[in-house]
Amino acid sequence: MLKYSLVGYDSSDSSQRAFRFAIDLARAGGGRVRVVSVLQVAQGGADACCLMMTDSATQRTNELLQELRGIAEDADKLVDLEITHGSPGDVLLTQVRSYPIDHIVIGHTARGTLGRWLLGSVSDDVLAGSHVPVTVVR
């Protein structure tokens, strides 16, 4: 039985679907969900830099928890939340090595070949490097 699922979360529709899937699994099996939001400087620009270098990360964590509560009222009871920075695929794989994660759930964002070549694919990185089961939610 899956007890601790990891979700990469960026507030996109696909990550919200992944979170819903993981929270349903946690409810059904008495597990928990670790939600990790990865800030990327190229993606967030100056705002991401400020969050990484100041105490406003606490505020962002509270805002994100409110967002997750909007999706699942019982998020406080089932979710461990972390905001960090780095490459999303690398961060998710590091989380699996650092915590007793037994399952990863990620959303799939459709990108063309050029977009995947330029930006990479988190799901490709995670699928290639994970030693635990991975569910990609569309």
Count the residues in the chain. 138
Give residue 61's domain range: 4-137
Helix (H) or strand (E) segment spanning residue 32: strand 32-39
Q: pLDDT for 116-130, tens place per residue?
A: 444 457 888 888 889
- In the chain, which residues have pLDDT < 70? 40-56, 110-120
- The CATH number assigned to the domain holding 61 equals 3.40.50.620
What token pair was written down for 82? 């972390």
What's the domain count of the chain? 1
How many CB atoms are located within 10 Å of the residue 22 CB? 30
Q: pLDDT for 75-97, tens place per residue?
A: 999 999 999 888 889 999 999 99
Give the alpha-carbon dihedral of 47, 49, 54, 56, to 10 degrees: 30
